[in-house]
Amino acid sequence: MVMARNLIRRLPILYQNHHHRLFSSATAAVAPSPTPPVRNDDEEIVEMKGVRVSGRPLYMDMQATTPVDPRVLDAMLPFYLSRFGNPHSRTHLYGWESEAAVETARAQVASLIGANPKEIFFTSGATECNNISVKGVMRFYRDKKRHVVTTQTEHKCVLDSCRHLQQEGFEVTYLPVKSDGLVDLDQLAAAIRPDTGLVSVMAVNNEIGVVQPMEEIGRICREKGIPFHTDAAQALGKIPIDVEKMGIALMSLSGHKIYGPKGVGALYLRRRPRVRVEPQMSGGGQERGIRSGTVPTPLVVGMGAACEIAAKEMEYDTRRVTSLQERLLNGIRSRLDEVVVNGSMEHRYPGNLNVSFAYVEGESLLMGLKEVAVSSGSACTSASLEPSYVLRALGVDEDMAHTSIRFGIGRFTTEAEIDRAIELTVQQVEKLRNMSPLYEMAKAGINLKSIQWAQH
Amino acid sequence: MASAAATAMAAPPTRAEALSLLRSLLRTASKFNDYNVREYIKRRSLDAFRENKSLSDPSSLASAFSDGKAQLEVAKRQAVVYSLYAPKVKSIMEIKKL
């Protein structure tokens, strides 16, 4: 771009306009396309971003997203084919059948969490729900309530919304967590002030899988008369949620974490006692004025179907995922030492296993595990090089935080996939440790923290 | 996921009918080219039949049977849809032996 500009300056003034247009078209970006599959003997190989795999990797990243359940897809397809009406069209069959489908889905979501369908509002996802909850509640009560209590391990969208509020003049307390990832209930109760307008604690953490003591937090908030908001995107359909027992006033739900489609979520907003929010989307007043915009019928139907399936399958899935997690952890621990699980083992959703392998570098471990789709930390923070803020909040050392891997186990994971993941992980970790001088020194009994590294 | 309105009137299945349903489910599962879905349908069908083996009350037997039949219809349709959009490259679980 700079070179083009220099050339233009040297050209006579008459030609500058014409040539400027020529040069600017040359600088248009060319989007890279993935190399098409290459036939190599009898193997079909996929190459993307310089990585070659001979088949689609086995998927163990359920916290990032989940595959759509075929039963959910079956429920959604008619609404992409013949029943494509807008649910807000009041005058014809297309609108009526679409509206009926949306209301059925609303009831399905409500029944999974023990709520009334009138308390469910469909949005574009849990991020939008978190925005509405945090910013919407505080802005509505801005004259009387100026303080928010949340934790340091919340999802980025909650933390970012709180930061936004701080810029508007509100105050936020970010509670630390204990080394097992759980919030300290006494600290929580002590942090609540007379002008606290909201307490936001996520039910199941997306990075470490820790389950917070929801009923106790709900009790504290109820006693003090403060609305309790929870981001239940990872918890829905996995742990039993009851908004009455847990004293929840606002809840963010996500479709694509429970084998539903991406692009849809639901907000639970309690009616008794009434919680008011300032809407973040202005428009035609759809969803009782809470969230304007056409409700996406096929996505909403998908989320409803996913919730209904989750209600039926929760017991079976939980039993299975628990036994698969044991298999994975025992398989890894039986062949490797110095494996640390991040976060409490007792208060955990079994489908999320975040482990750190000492003396192994995280990036190289991930690059070597290209046949297993896993992630380190969360998808939101993986763009930057800094270690996950959640692990930092747990007090995990930086070198251990860098080497963490998050295994996600779900409804469709098989025993064979677990065994393959164990094998690949153990092979890769052993390979890296054999190359690691730090591991040699540690095995020789040297305390690495006591070393004075020389400067060259 | 049709809520079966027909269960109220249905008769409980005979042993042959139940076995035939299980066989159809397993056969339909093998038509899926997606490794995870195929394994899930096989496993879930077998586990569901195993769990319901001890049912004796005719109405719960009938409702479990009609639920199974509804699931079979869903599976048959989705087997077609999944085959239409099969990825060119198979899952690594189907290709490589360790």
Cβ-Cβ contacts under 8 Å between A and B: the total is 71
A55 to B92: CB separation less than 8 angstroms, yes or no: yes
**Closest chain B residue to A105, measured at CA:** B1
Please give the residue that has the higher pLDDT: either A30 or A84: A84
**Closest chain A residue to B40, measured at CA:** A412
Tokens in use for A1? Answer: 């771009």
A86 and A94 in contact (C-beta within 8 Å)? yes
Mutation choice for A interface testing from B1, B50, B76, B94 by most A CBs within 10 A: B1
Residue A380 pLDDT level (bands cut at 50, 70, 90) = very low
**Closest chain B residue to A66, measured at CA:** B36
Give per-residue pLDDT as tens, A270-293. 999 999 999 999 999 999 999 999
Note the Cα A16 to chain centre separation in Å: 51
In this complex, the residue of B35, B78, B93 whose CB is nearest that of residue A70 is B78
Lowest average pLDDT, out of A95-99, A158-162, A327-331, A443-447, goes to A443-447
A43 to B95: CB separation less than 8 angstroms, yes or no: yes
Backbone angles phi, psi at A337, to 5 degrees: -105, 175
pLDDT score recorded for residue A387? 74
Mutation choice for A interface testing from B25, B89, B91 by most A CBs within 10 A: B89
User: What burial letters (b/e) apply to A227-238, b meaning 16+ CB within 10 Å?
Assistant: bbbbbbbbbbbb
Tell me the C-alpha distance between A250 and A135, whole Å: 12
Q: What percent of chain A has pLDDT over 70?
A: 88
Backbone angles phi, psi at A129, to 5 degrees: -60, -40
Tell me: pLDDT of A377 over 70: no
**Which chain B residues are Cβ-neighbours of A309 within 8 angstroms?**
1
B37 to A414: CB separation less than 8 angstroms, yes or no: no
List A268's β-bridge partners, or say none.
A120, A251
Tell me the C-alpha distance between A129 and A137, whole Å: 11
Q: What percent of chain A has pLDDT over 90?
A: 75
pLDDT score recorded for residue A379? 46
Asked if A257 reaches chain B (Cβ–Cβ under 8 Å), the answer is no
Tell me the C-alpha distance between A130 and A200, whole Å: 9
Tell me the C-alpha distance between A152 and A150, whole Å: 7
The SS3 call for residue A408 is strand
A271 and A118 in contact (C-beta within 8 Å)? yes
Residue that has been written with the tokens 């899988």 in this structure: A209
Residue A8 pLDDT level (bands cut at 50, 70, 90) = very low
- The residues of A that are catalytic are 380
Asked if A43 reaches chain B (Cβ–Cβ under 8 Å), the answer is yes
Tell me: pLDDT of A19 over 50: no
Asked if B89 reaches chain A (Cβ–Cβ under 8 Å), the answer is yes
Angle ∠(A183,A205,A203) on CA atoms, nearest 5: 70
How many helices, marked H, and strands, marked E, lie in chain A? 16, 15
Overall average pLDDT of the A262-268 stretch = 97
DSSP A169: T
ipTM: 0.91
Asked if A73 reaches chain B (Cβ–Cβ under 8 Å), the answer is yes
DSSP A368: H
Angle ∠(A166,A169,A175) on CA atoms, nearest 5: 40
A352 and A324 in contact (C-beta within 8 Å)? no
Overall average pLDDT of the A120-130 stretch = 96
Overall average pLDDT of the A349-371 stretch = 89
Mutation choice for A interface testing from B38, B93, B94 by most A CBs within 10 A: B93
pLDDT score recorded for residue A454? 81
Q: Where are the domains of chain B?
A: 12-84
The SS3 call for residue A251 is strand
DSSP states along B38-68: HHHHHHHHHHHHHHHTT---HHHHHHHHHHH
Q: How many angstroms separate the CA of residue B28 from the nearest CA in chain A?
A: 13
According to DSSP H, which parts of A225-355 are helical?
297-335
Asked if A37 reaches chain B (Cβ–Cβ under 8 Å), the answer is yes
The SS3 call for residue A223 is helix
B37 to A305: CB separation less than 8 angstroms, yes or no: no
Q: How many angstroms separate the CA of residue A349 from the nearest CA in chain B?
A: 21
Q: How many angstroms separate the CA of residue A43 from the nearest CA in chain B?
A: 9
Asked if A412 reaches chain B (Cβ–Cβ under 8 Å), the answer is yes
**Which chain A residues are Cβ-neighbours of B88 within 8 angstroms?**
37, 44
B95 to A53: CB separation less than 8 angstroms, yes or no: no
pLDDT tens, residue order, chain B (98 aa): 445 454 455 688 888 999 999 999 999 999 999 999 999 999 999 999 999 988 889 999 999 999 999 999 999 999 999 999 999 888 988 886 65
Among candidate residues A365, A361, A356, the one with its CA nearest the CA of residue A329? A356
Tell me the C-alpha distance between A303 and B35, whole Å: 24
